[in-house]
Structure 1
């Protein structure tokens, strides 16, 4: 009989606006050790799903470095973005860009949201910086965007001209797409055309329709019902003109799984450069070695800001469930838990706990997220230890 210590794996996502995934993992680990001390083996595996925290997770796993780049946010204000640089397996220079650095909601949260005008030009600036650095493999991590322009601003920064029927440049954002008549590609960056592209998505939504970028995500970016309808029309228009320009199947383009992520940002990259869309959590899992870390685990902690139905559809929690052995006990810690106990168990999660200590303001929870994660993990482990002792009575 083996006397090896039980293995506890801690693999959370970040809690947006609160703490990074490494910080969350470390906090949960402290709570575990409060109860079990050195009697267990604790493996910390910070995760991400293509959204916030993915760049940091991948750069750490692939031992790259991060360059700081001046760019603009979704409303055109100057900010600093990042480009992760490292060696690809084939020896080429790989650039990793977390698009929310330049089009994310947090960067514009101090101003009124303008869903029809928010623009991805800043993402294009980061891409040009990556190409200037010599990168020939580009990995874009989507999630947390304030934009719904189908990546039009980004394409403009890469040299594409998006024109009205009068031959004038369209206005930035989804609003301008309603006047889009044709796209000129004669000045498109040759380096972008020859590069290899991958796009890590945190959702599998199509571009348009009832599950599309506008219907599902635009309200989170400040769009009212009328604006949602305008954005859906705008994205349809962009897809139609792109398809006409390069002779693609328009219907297939709109329905591609994940193409609706980040307000359709991947649309032009997929159409023009053949970018491969991959599930972000799957990509990060392989990069950080989650399947190997889960081998032999009896207890697994994961978590995120909000545990709801979307958590089970390509997010970190769903990836942890996929990678974990069926006999592992999987516990979710989250800022809020929106699934019932029955739904939680049906998904394969043993139990889910909110880290809130009672009625609490979001700002207070964000400020104290690490302390709350540590305390909740300790409480859960205490209950597990008590149940184990009780079974011996």
Structure 2
């Protein structure tokens, strides 16, 4: 309990969960938990702070604090025309969520093999936001279906890749080994005036055993026999690009994020930051925690990876610095991870009340969150002597 809490004033509860991927947005999760807290503690002051770590749901979390959200025309991972949401925050920062443009859950974009997908659409998004006057960008990298080293992004911004005969090479993973020269003369000059923050919770390099293809490729459809081949093509692409631009980034932390999209952004001068830390700053989580008595955070499923920069962990660290205890309330909890999780959270709970099929848990998630929030609040109320 926060030392500032007294029984004479209503409790202040901060609710800062990540989304339940494929089920509920972080805003919906926070609202459902808040409704449960209010049922047990009608006088509680609820501060909703949906959070994200740079993956799916980052745009929603950032836009919760206000701004202009709209859709743009852009290409999906298969190069087909599509539409995707973007946003401009109140401070003028443009927000692009890679998962909304070239995401794993886009059936049209992933209808072609992974070695034929690229990030042209992310370049489309940046150009259109530049046209609207944006010069500060927050690019969320998680959840992409691509493995092109960001070649598509660079091509979308004007770079041209050429083979030994001077023919244009398409920015596809299967073609990267053909690139012999990079023509940067048509790169959008406004990029030089732009500050880009690349947001992710991974710090992998572009290539090698810990690189984009080896670590994240399989979840995108890269089969074992393709790993070494595609990794070599990325390495070749990076060597030619770095020679053309006169600097390198392949070994920098985060270069391997989003199949190497992080690498391309770093080559353009982007700053790489923890997605959860960046979101926490922009939504004012520290301000929300000031004078609070309790933080509730969570995600779809929590395990040992939660402690490696995921949104609930970052929220708990911020709360600890503010002297606020944190409860983890997630869709599921890996029981074997409890010894580690409980070092950062004052209690770890799942929203399910017994054996349940995943599809049923997803369908019932709002009610389960509300009921769990209420029961946690009743426990907290008893412990606080209210």
8 A contact 1:203–1:315 mirrored in 2: no
Q: Using a 3 Å threshold, how does the CA distance of structure 1 residues 155 and 331 change in structure 2: closer, same or farther?
A: same
2:140 is the counterpart of 1:141: yes
**Matching residue of 1:5:** 10
Structure 1 counterpart SS, 2:191:
helix
8 A contact 1:344–1:350 mirrored in 2: no
8 A contact 1:295–1:325 mirrored in 2: no
Q: Using a 3 Å threshold, how does the CA distance of structure 1 residues 244 and 110 change in structure 2: closer, same or farther?
A: closer
Structure 1 counterpart SS, 2:320:
coil
Structure 2 counterpart SS, 1:68:
strand
**Matching residue of 1:108:** 107
Deviation string for 1:225-279 (max 9, x for gaps)? 222323322222222112111222x4xx2221222211110222221x3111121
**What TM-score do you get using the length of structure 1 for normalisation?**
0.89
- Any residues of structure 2 matched to 1:28-39 within 5 Å, and which? 28-38=33-43
More off after superposition, 321-330 vs 16-25: 321-330
Distance 1:274 1:14 in 2: 30
**Matching residue of 1:340:** 337
Deviation at 1:316, TM superposition (A): 0.7
More off after superposition, 114-123 vs 377-386: 377-386
What 5-or-longer segments of structure 1 have no aligned partner? Answer: none
2:202 is the counterpart of 1:198: no
Structure 1 counterpart SS, 2:137:
strand
2:71 is the counterpart of 1:71: no
Deviation at 1:81, TM superposition (A): 1.2
Distance 1:133 1:87 in 2: 14
Q: CA RMSD in A?
A: 2.3
Deviation at 1:194, TM superposition (A): 2.7
Deviation string for 1:42-96 (max 9, x for gaps)? 22111122222222332342x32123211222122332112312454xxxx5322
Distance 2:24 2:341 in 1: 24
Distance 2:371 2:230 in 1: 43
8 A contact 2:197–2:272 mirrored in 1: yes
- Quick one: which of 299, 302, 305 aligns to 2:297? 302
Deviation at 1:31, TM superposition (A): 1.5
**Matching residue of 1:216:** 215
Structure 1 counterpart SS, 2:366:
helix
Distance 1:298 1:216 in 2: 40
Deviation at 1:295, TM superposition (A): 2.3
Q: Using a 3 Å threshold, how does the CA distance of structure 1 residues 164 and 364 change in structure 2: closer, same or farther?
A: farther
Deviation at 1:151, TM superposition (A): 1.0
Structure 1 counterpart SS, 2:22:
coil
Q: Using a 3 Å threshold, how does the CA distance of structure 1 residues 87 and 385 change in structure 2: closer, same or farther?
A: closer
Q: How many residues align?
A: 379
Distance 1:255 1:98 in 2: 24
8 A contact 2:55–2:97 mirrored in 1: yes
Distance 1:308 1:119 in 2: 31
Deviation at 1:309, TM superposition (A): 2.4
